[in-house]
Amino acid sequence: MSHSLLEGRLVDAQGNLIGRVRVSAKGGRWSGEIDLGGTAPSVVSLFTRFEEVVEGQMLSFLDDVETEISRLGARLLVAGEEALAVEDLQIYPAPRVVSFRTL
């Protein structure tokens, strides 16, 4: 995938929408904007909790939240491309920011 700007969808292992993204590559990571419209409330709640843990520097809770995020089995879907597995997914719902790495 050699694009510098991508628009696509993040989905979980079952194909459920995590969010629509518009991202660009920066230092081995993809980062940009995410639209959480149509995302399951439980997923939004998970990332809201992630945001609160990170922003509040409650690092003792970070591993548990990151494990839950990892269990989603996130994949990036871009038109005309094969789905790419995603790791280190970070979504901040309040500012609608996303970052991740693809495998």
Write out pLDDT tens, residues 21-79. Answer: 999 998 889 999 999 999 999 999 999 999 999 999 998 999 999 999 999 999 999 98
Q: Which of 89, 85, 87, 69 is nearest to 77 (CA)?
A: 85
Q: Rounded distance, CA 85 to CA 87, Å?
A: 7
Region 3-7 average pLDDT: 81
Confidence label for 103 from pLDDT (cuts 50, 70 and 90):
confident
- For 31-94, give the secondary structure using H, E and C: EEEEECCCCCHHHHHHHHHHHHHHHCCCHHHHHHHHHHHHHCCCEEECCCCCCEEEEEEEEECC
Both tokens assigned to 41: 């409330």
